């Protein structure tokens, strides 16, 4: 019998979180990700050691996660774009206090209230820290139901290992789409390694403090550099990207999440036409897979960045390429979902304009 289950993306992430040993979730209703909150409400209710709280606000939800995380439990909250703006205060405090947490952003059209259609407009907010101060969050961008399950497991591992907030960045399409998924085996939270820094009452040990206030400027500087070194380690250890049909490619599309799924369809089409085009798909958006991209620029001279925004990841692409190669851009913001046909036309138009068929 197959272990495959057909599930909606939002529910896949929720189920994968439970299986990763997440036992604390607080959230606030917002479309298009309510299925995740509702799934967590029901799943936690069935667990003897699970807590679900429908918070009074996004701000309260993230701060409840901060408290729960300081008490040692694997903790999660989720939202969509406007709600993520409100959570940034707490994410900055989590990063500063070196507390693990997993935060899911199912992006929708923006800015402002925008709409509830799929978008990738929160790339900057996610990958640049988002809140105030000198910090980054790990950002994972799955492009399928299966990868949502796998990366959710990883998100909790990374959060605990590096003691830092981890964002899972998807969009309304990834959240709503139903796909078959094989889940990893569930983890019993009691089997997770103990955390020697949690606050559970100073019994038989000195009292502990979890805080972010560092008034002494030299100590603050030390803390900033400590975080920076942590981000360097993270970049060395977890940076991931998928390369698809890039071996012989003389043009590479760069896209993540839903946009990458669409781009794959487009690449299959243009391959049938004989165009040597591949896909580079960052899976970690922070840390960005800059080295792999720079390496690729030794042979590939034309890159097409495709985003469901007016162009945000393109800045990381240009930084990674250090001026090598030509970077083209195609974007559809506002909740528009391009078709593979539309992207294949964009690819072939650049391909022929640049005379790449002659290479």
Partner 1 sequence: MKQIFQKPKYLKDAVFHYCPGCGHSIIHRLVAEVIEELDIAEKTIGVPPAGCAVLAYDYFDLDMCEAPHGRGAAVATGIKRTLPDRIVFSYQGDGDIAAIGTAETIHAANRGENITIIFVNNSCYGMTGGQMAPTTLLGQNSSTTPGGRDSLRDGSPIDLSEMLAITKGSVYIERTSVNSPKNIRKTKKAIKKAFKVQMAGLGFSLVEVLSPCPTNWKLSPVDACKWIDESIAKTYPMKVIKDEAGNID
For residue 191, the minimal CB distance to partner 1 (Å) is 18
For Cα atoms 227, 229, 234, give the angle at the middle one, nearest 5 degrees. Answer: 95
Residues in the chain: 359
Instruction: Provide CB contacts within 8 A for 198, sequence distance 6+.
Output: 70, 71, 72, 208
Query: Residue 140, class by beta-carbon neighbours within 10 Å (0-12 exposed, 13-18 middle, 19+ buried)?
Result: buried
For residue 59, the minimal CB distance to partner 1 (Å) is 7
For residue 26, the minimal CB distance to partner 1 (Å) is 7
For residue 74, the minimal CB distance to partner 1 (Å) is 10
Distance CA 90, CA 328 (A): 36
For residue 61, the minimal CB distance to partner 1 (Å) is 8
Comparison of 64 and 293: residue with beta carbon closer to partner 1:
64
Q: What residue ranges bind partner 1 (CB under 8 A)?
A: 23-24, 26, 51, 53, 55-57, 59-61, 63-73, 75, 89-90, 93, 97, 199-204, 207-213
Q: How many CB atoms lie within 10 A of CB 106?
A: 32
Pair type for strands 138-140 and 284-286: antiparallel
Comparison of 199 and 245: residue with beta carbon closer to partner 1:
199
Instruction: Provide CB contacts within 8 A for 94, sequence distance 6+.
Output: 62, 65, 66, 69, 100, 101, 164, 165
For residue 325, the minimal CB distance to partner 1 (Å) is 43
Comparison of 72 and 340: residue with beta carbon closer to partner 1:
72
Contact 137/165 with Cβ under 8 angstroms? Answer: yes
Comparison of 96 and 321: residue with beta carbon closer to partner 1:
96
Distance CA 140, CA 207 (A): 35
Helix/strand/coil for 276? coil
Comparison of 208 and 226: residue with beta carbon closer to partner 1:
208
For residue 65, the minimal CB distance to partner 1 (Å) is 6
Comparison of 208 and 236: residue with beta carbon closer to partner 1:
208
Comparison of 211 and 298: residue with beta carbon closer to partner 1:
211
């Amino acid at each position: 019998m197959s272990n495959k289950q057909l599930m909606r993306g939002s529910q896949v992430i929720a189920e994968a979180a439970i299986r990763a040993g997440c036992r604390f979730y607080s959230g606030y209703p917002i479309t298009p990700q309510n299925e995740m909150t509702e799934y967590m409400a029901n799943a936690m209710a069935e667990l003897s050691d699970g807590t679900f709280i429908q918070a009074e606000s996004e701000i309260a939800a993230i701060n409840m996660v901060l408290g729960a995380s300081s008490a040692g439990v694997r903790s999660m909250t989720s939202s969509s774009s406007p709600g993520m703006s409100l959570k940034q205060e707490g994410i900055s405090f989590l990063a500063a206090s070196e507390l693990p947490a997993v935060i899911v952003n199912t992006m929708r059209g923006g800015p402002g209230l925008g709409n509830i259609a799929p978008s990738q407009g929160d790339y900057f907010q996610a990958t640049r820290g988002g809140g105030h101060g000198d910090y980054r969050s790990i950002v994972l961008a799955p492009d399928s139901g299966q990868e949502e399950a796998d990366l959710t497991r990883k998100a909790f591992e990374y959060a605990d290992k590096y003691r830092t907030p981890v964002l899972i960045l998807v969009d309304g399409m990834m959240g709503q789409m139903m796909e078959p998924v094989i889940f990893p085996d569930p983890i019993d939270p009691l089997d997770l390694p103990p955390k020697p820094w949690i606050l559970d009452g100073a019994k038989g040990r000195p009292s502990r403090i979890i805080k972010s206030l560092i008034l002494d400027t030299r100590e603050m500087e030390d803390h900033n550099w400590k975080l920076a070194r942590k981000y360097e380690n993270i970049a060395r250890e977890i940076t991931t990207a998928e390369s698809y049909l890039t071996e012989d490619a003389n043009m590479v599309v760069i896209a993540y999440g839903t946009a990458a799924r669409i781009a794959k369809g487009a690449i299959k089409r243009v391959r049938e036409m004989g165009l040597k085009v591949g896909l580079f798909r960052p899976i970690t958006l922070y840390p960005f897979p800059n080295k792999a991209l720079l390496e690729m620029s030794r042979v590939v001279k034309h890159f097409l960045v495709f985003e469901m925004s007016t162009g945000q990841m393109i800045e990381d692409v240009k930084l990674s390429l250090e001026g090598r190669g030509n970077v083209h851009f195609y974007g559809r913001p506002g909740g528009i979902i391009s078709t593979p046909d539309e992207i294949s036309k964009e690819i072939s138009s650049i391909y022929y304009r640049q005379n790449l068929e002659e290479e």
